[in-house]
Amino acid sequence: MEQLGCSKINIGLSILNKRNDGYHNIDTIFQSIRLSDSIYFARHHSVVFSGIAPELPQYIQDMIPYDERNLALQAVRELQSYTSCKAGAAIHLLKRVPAAAGLGGGSADAAAMLKGLNKFWDLRLTEDELLTIGGKLGSDVPFLLKGGTARGTGRGEIMEFHESPAPHWLLIVKPEISVSTGIAYNKFNGISQFTSTTIDHVLSALKASDLQRAFTVSGNTFEELLFPEYEELQQCKDFFTTRGYNTIMTGSGPTMVVLLDKATDALALQEEIKANGHNWLSLITKTCSQEDV
Ligand SMILES: C[C@](O)(CO)[C@H](O)COP(=O)(O)OP(=O)(O)OC[C@H]1O[C@@H](n2ccc(N)nc2=O)[C@H](O)[C@@H]1O
Ligand SMILES: Nc1ncnc2c1ncn2[C@@H]1O[C@H](COP(=O)(O)OP(=O)(O)OP(=O)(O)O)[C@@H](O)[C@H]1O
């Protein structure tokens, strides 16, 4: 049995304030994208876990541990302790989503593991139970369990779902910079030009099915926090905006999301990235809706 774990982009993200539990309240628009990892389940007498990421560059492969530190295996452990299930499974994770990219890759695997094992072991957990278990594993996991298009508040787990825009082609571009999510959040000093009003504007553009406008009016507090320190991020964004493409950073970065008019634009941009000597990883994907997740 195969279970897909679709990743996400954030179309706008405002950090509102720091909470007493160490997390930050945010206001964001989550949007599922087709780019996904696969988890394969086969019958086995005990739980064994393995994984590979052959399509990703070596420096990203080196970041992903296939042991108890892997969020997907942590999802297995959470399910085992919640249900006391003693069943086995041979579980294999095939990663295609770049790690530490702001695409929610590890969280997508955790979500896929919860949904996959719920079916494979016939656990019959309700969606609410999965959302509660998912929330323990990471702030992005509840959205990734459901997918589609949602406004996320709280630490991201309070979700208000909306109709997804028609599928749009995207070029996902990741510079070779890694900043951990926790460290990026710690740079927040209480002030951002992007507020819930920014996210209101994104949402009204989405309601009008105008993804171009949604990108134009969106903003991400993490851009304010990271661009001054990592010049290459501004350079990467400018590379696409100066060529006329609406471009936003997703999550806590460093990945840029370039909104395309047509898939062939991606091939031309990939050629230009190479011709300009940039070592950015770029992948073509599409936005998708809850039915695809
Ligand atoms: C940047 C986003 O991807 C936007 O969707 C998420 O907010 C991050 O979600 P995530 O990777 O699932 O993050 P978690 O694993 O829950 O938290 C990692 C670390 O990020 C910080 N964190 C995360 C989410 C949040 N709303 N406030 C935070 O301050 C905390 O220091 C936490 O220890
Ligand atoms: N299944 C997994 N896939 C990728 N990374 C994982 C996984 N499990 C644990 N990790 C660790 O988590 C780190 C962050 O990777 P992940 O892909 O989840 O980040 P992200 O896309 O930036 O997440 P977010 O957008 O939720 O902040 C990696 O550097 C890696 O060490």
φ and ψ at 71, to 5 degrees?
-60, -30
Q: How far apart are CA 159 and CA 208, in angstroms?
A: 20
Question: CATH 3.30.70.890 region(s) of the chain?
Answer: 165-292
Average pLDDT, the chain: 97
Ligand 1 site residues (CB inside 6 A) read 10, 13, 22-24, 26, 28, 102, 104, 107, 138-140, 155-156, 181-182, 185, 251-252
Task: State the distance from the centre of ligand 1 to the C-alpha of 26, rounded, in angstroms.
Answer: 10
The CATH class given to the 2-161 domain equals alpha beta
Q: Was 190 annotated as part of a binding site?
A: no
Angle subtended by helix axes 127-137 and 71-83, to nearest 10: 130
What percentage of the chain carries pLDDT values higher than 70?
A: 100
Query: One of 95, 140, 174, 237 is an active-site residue; which one?
Result: 140
Q: Was 51 annotated as part of a binding site?
A: no
Longest dimension (CA), the chain: 56
Residue partners of 93: CB distance under 8 A and separation at least 6? 37, 38, 39, 49, 50, 51, 52, 66, 70, 72, 109
* Residue type present at position 161: F
Please write the tens of the pLDDT for every residue from 148-168: 999 999 999 999 999 999 999
Q: Strand 47-52 to strand 89-94: parallel, antiparallel, or no bridges (unpaired)?
A: parallel
Q: Is 140 a catalytic residue?
A: yes
Question: CATH 3.30.230.10 region(s) of the chain?
Answer: 2-161
Fold assignment, 165-292: Alpha-Beta Plaits (3.30.70)
Q: Is 8 a catalytic residue?
A: yes
The partner residues of 73 in beta bridges, in order of sequence, read: none
Q: The complex's ipTM? A: 0.96
Q: Which of 258, 186, 226, 201 is nearest to 9 (CA)?
A: 258
As a whole number, mean pLDDT of residues 269-280 equals 97
Q: Was 184 annotated as part of a binding site?
A: no
Please write the tens of the pLDDT for every residue from 17-37: 999 999 999 999 999 999 999
Task: State the distance from the centre of ligand 2 to the C-alpha of 255, rounded, in angstroms.
Answer: 13
Please write the tens of the pLDDT for every residue from 39-85: 999 999 999 999 999 999 999 999 999 999 999 999 999 999 999 99
Measured CA distances, 142 to 11, 45, 70, 284 (Å): 17, 30, 17, 25
